[in-house]
């Protein structure tokens, strides 16, 4: 079996930037004083990462595509039957079960970032969409922003536990390929990371978000500053 490129550079960058961002978002919300503005900026960046990854899931290289790792229930159940076997063949991309964990994490982090746009720190700073909706919507967003993160922490814990399980029980090391991109496999590797396409998508997502957050939302009415 040869070592072949499986994880393209944008997918790997996405992953490690996401990990750093989630850590930073937690730190700026829970540990640091006066860091809410940084929490906002990191939240926008994370929203950008998620939008990028969703687009990449349709146009990126083979193993990054949703069509490659979102499988039907049949494939998931037959994969689950191999979970307890030490000698099961390693998956080349995400396995049939892990694929759903990826989707769940993307949806939850996306929800967390979108609900953040409607949040307030109750002192100085309002999310950019806060003044555009009524109290009932704000209530939902506020509840989502607090509750989704509690569940997300469990999902991340489970994700890391799964990585440890594969390393210890199945002797399959999944982390190095997420760093250097290569896996020992008989399946074909990807010919390139499609870096130019990734750059164009990242720029479009960046400008789109800047427009949606800084330019498009009308400024709050003046009286909102006083009452
Ligand atoms: C905030 C914490 C984390 C989040 C939100 C997270 C999220 C994700 C997501 C969304 C993917 C799918 C990647 C893609 O296809 O785009 C993924 C895959 C992966 N993550 Fe994480 N991750 C976290 C922490 C970690 C840590 C700490 C490690 C290493 C110890 C790790 C190792 C991996 C590996 C090895 C994969 C590929 C799994 C496979 O081969 O199918 N993750 N993670
Ligand atoms: C994926 C992105 C995000 C994550 C993971 C995240 C995470 C968190 C967490 C863990 C908290 C603390 C909740 C608690 O104490 O129960 C929080 C609070 C908060 N978040 Fe986010 N957030 C994200 C995006 C955003 C965005 C985009 C905004 C606004 C533009 C935002 C605004 C706020 C505000 C205003 C608070 C309350 C802070 C305070 O009361 O001091 N968040 N967030």
DSSP structure string for 1-44: -EEEE-S-HHHHHHHHHHHHHHHHHHIIIII-TT-HHHHHHHHH
Q: Strand pairing partners for 2?
A: 185
CA-closest residue to ligand 1 atom 16:
11
Can you give the pTM of this predicted structure? 0.95
- Which fold does the domain 2-201 belong to in CATH? Fumarate Reductase Cytochrome B subunit (1.20.950)
Q: Distance (Å, rounded) from C-alpha 70 to C-alpha 66?
A: 5
For residue 15, report the distance from its CA to the centre of ligand 1, in Å: 6
pLDDT at 71: 95
- Residues in the chain with pLDDT values less than 70: 221-227
pLDDT at 222: 63
pLDDT at 227: 52
- The domains of the chain are located at 2-201
pLDDT at 224: 57
* Nearest ligand 2 atom, CA 146: 16
For residue 181, report the distance from its CA to the centre of ligand 2, in Å: 32
């Amino acid at each position: 079996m040869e070592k072949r490129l499986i994880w393209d550079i944008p997918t790997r960058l996405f992953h490690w930037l996401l990990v750093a961002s989630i850590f930073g978002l937690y730190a700026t919300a829970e540990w640091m004083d006066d860091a809410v503005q940084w929490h906002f900026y990191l939240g926008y960046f994370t929203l950008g990462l998620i939008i990028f990854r969703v687009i990449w899931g349709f146009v990126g290289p083979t193993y990054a595509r949703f069509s490659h790792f979102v499988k039907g229930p049949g494939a998931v159940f037959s994969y689950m039957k191999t979970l307890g076997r030490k000698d099961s063949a390693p998956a080349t991309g995400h396995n049939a079960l892990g694929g759903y964990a990826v989707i769940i994490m993307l949806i939850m982090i996306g929800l967390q970032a979108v609900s953040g746009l409607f949040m307030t720190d109750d002192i100085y700073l309002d999310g950019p969409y806060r003044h555009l909706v009524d109290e009932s919507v704000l209530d939902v967003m506020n509840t989502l922003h607090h509750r989704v993160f509690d569940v997300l922490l469990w999902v991340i814990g489970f994700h890391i536990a799964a990585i440890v399980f594969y390393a210890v029980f199945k002797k399959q090391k999944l982390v190095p390929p997420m760093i250097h991109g290569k896996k020992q496999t008989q399946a074909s590797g990807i010919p390139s990371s499609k870096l130019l396409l990734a750059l164009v998508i990242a720029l479009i997502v960046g400008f789109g978000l800047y427009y949606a957050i800084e330019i498009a939302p009308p400024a709050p009415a003046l009286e909102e500053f006083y009452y």
